Amino acid sequence: MDAVLKAIAEPRRRQILRLVGEREMAAGEIADHFDITRPAISQHLKILREAHLVTERREGTRRLYRAEPETLAELRTFVEEFWTPGLQRLRDLAEATETAASTRAATEDDKETP
C-alpha cells in the first residue's frame, strides 16, 4: 500500500491514472497529454505498474496501459479504514468543544502527572 500511496502523491501520475481509467491507452498517446518528455512518462508508468495501479499489455510495438480497478478498490478500503471508531469519537469531541467553547478539560483527563 505504501507504493500505491506514493504513486498517487504525484499529480502527473494521478492524471495518467485518470486517462487510463477512461480507456486503454498506448504509452505514446498518454505522453501526448503532457508537456514532459516520453521517457519521463515511461518512468511514471513504471512506478504505477510496480504499485499495481496499471497493467501493461503489448500489442505489436505498442504497450497498452489500463487502470487496475482492484488496486484502486484496495486503496479505497484502506482510506475508509482510517475512519475508525476512535475517529468518530474525536468527531463527537470536536462538536462538543465547539458548542461549549469555554469548557476546559471537561472531557480530557488523559494525563495529569507533571
Contacts with a copy of itself, residue ranges (CB under 8 A):
2, 5-6, 8-9, 11, 14, 17-18, 21-24, 26, 29, 49-50, 52, 55-59, 66-67, 69, 72-73, 75-76, 79-80, 82-84, 86-91, 93-94, 103, 105-111
Give Cα separations from 36 to 14, 18, 30, 42 (angstroms): 15, 17, 11, 11
Residue with cell 504513486: 7
**For a copy of itself, which is the closer residue by CB, 35 or 112?**
112
Q: Which residues contact 48 (CB under 8 A, 6 or more apart)?
A: 7, 13, 16, 17, 54, 65
Residue numbers at the binding site for DNA (CB under 7 A): 6, 9-10, 12, 26-29, 31, 35-47, 56, 58, 60-63, 114
